[in-house]
């Protein structure tokens, strides 16, 4: 994956106080069966920062193992 997307993931994990492996697991678990992980990461990062630019709440991800969405945990 391109360096700007790694930088975006780093910024998201810092902002949301969630480890990178947890973020990637949540993205992966939200994929359809035949989904592409790198595309999903790119779309999530773009969606996240687009929402922030529009002064909206960033996208939510499925909670690991539940299939349900919930807000990001805040420390």
Question: Distance from CA of residue 10 to its chain's centroid?
Answer: 11
pLDDT < 50 stretches in the chain:
64-75
- Cα–Cα nearest to 4, from 12, 19, 28: 12
What is the domain partition of the chain in residue ranges?
A: 3-53
Angle between helices 37-53 and 3-16 (to 10 degrees): 60
| pTM higher than the cut 0.95 | no
Give pLDDT, residue 68: 41
Give pLDDT, residue 58: 82
List the structure tokens of 29. 């678990």
Give pLDDT, residue 34: 86
Give pLDDT, residue 61: 62
Q: What is the Cα–Cα distance from 57 to 34, expressed in whole angstroms?
A: 28
């Amino acid at each position: 994956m391109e360096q700007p997307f790694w930088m975006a993931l780093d910024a998201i994990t810092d902002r949301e106080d969630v480890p990178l492996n947890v973020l990637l697991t949540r993205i992966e678990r939200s994929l359809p069966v035949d989904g592409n992980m790198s595309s999903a990461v790119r779309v999530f990062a773009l969606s996240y920062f687009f929402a922030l630019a529009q002064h909206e709440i960033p996208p939510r991800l499925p909670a690991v193992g539940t299939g349900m969405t919930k807000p990001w945990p805040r420390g």
